[in-house]
Chain A
Amino acid sequence: MDELPIRSGDDVVRVRQFVRNAAADNGLSLVDQTKLVTAASELARNTLVHGGGGVARVEVVKSANGRIGVKLDFTDEGPGISDIDLALTDGWTTGTGLGLGLSGTRRLVDEFELTSEPGAGTSVVVVKWSR
């Protein structure tokens, strides 16, 4: 597992490049690579802008039926999200975006899990499986 810091816009670009390589090396199709990298970009920005920075963990995982996937975990120690269901609704926004970040990201990946508590930070784990 690799751990990458997210402290600046440069770091967001580095996370995207790292995820692109991990996805390509593990047999994801070009479209799936693009979806995963786009998801990583959204989540890394959230970590930076809303979480005040944090880390991205990138891991290659294997499913019970032998499929290879890339798992990403974005964790911050920011203010957290009080209403997770609302945050995952299309069009919900903190005012700086289009409100597609989280809800759109969920559509781009195969697995999506958001854990957050007010004051205790946020963690988003996503997986994209090779076909």
Chain B
Amino acid sequence: MERVPILKIGQTLFVSIQIDLQDETVIRLQEDLADELAATGAHGVIIDITAVEIVDSFIGRMLTTIGSISRLFDAETVLVGMRPAVAITLTELGLSLSGVRTALNAEKGLEILNGKS
């Protein structure tokens, strides 16, 4: 099973998903992120899904869960780079990803975390 790397830049954890996600990979990412948040005390998580071609109900639920877990570690999660086709499909599927902030790209996501917006 492939793993998604987590980078720490300043007070932010940065995750860029570049692979076709298996359910197990997403569950692993959730666990790895919780460990990293506990170990580093980071205050923000940016998840970049620019390369993600589909978000189905399982992956969507996991993204929401990651947002909830981060909050328990006093960190905010921003989902960035969603493709237009993915946004349309998610909405039609009935997923709103409530509780997760979104931004157009990683730069705008960082601005949110740094309190500039």
Binding site for B on A (CB under 8 A): 9-10, 12-13, 16-17, 20, 30-31, 33-35, 37-38, 41-42, 45, 90, 97-98, 100-101, 103-105, 107-108
Contact = CB atoms under 8 A, between A and B. Distances in A.
B57 A17 contact: no
A16 B52 CA distance: 12
A100 to B, nearest CB: 5
Contacts, number: 72
Contacts of B53: 20, 34, 37
State the majority secondary structure of interface residues on B. Answer: helix
> Which residue, B56, B88, B95, has most C-beta atoms of chain A within 10 A?
B56
Contacts of A98: 57, 60-61, 95
User: Binding site of A, secondary structure by majority: helix, strand, loop or mixed?
Assistant: helix
B89 interface: yes
Given A103-B94, A107-B92, A108-B92, A38 B23 contact: no
Contacts of A31: 84-85, 88-89
9 contacts: A9-B22, A17-B20, A31-B85, A34-B53, A34-B83, A97-B57, A100-B95, A107-B92, A108-B93
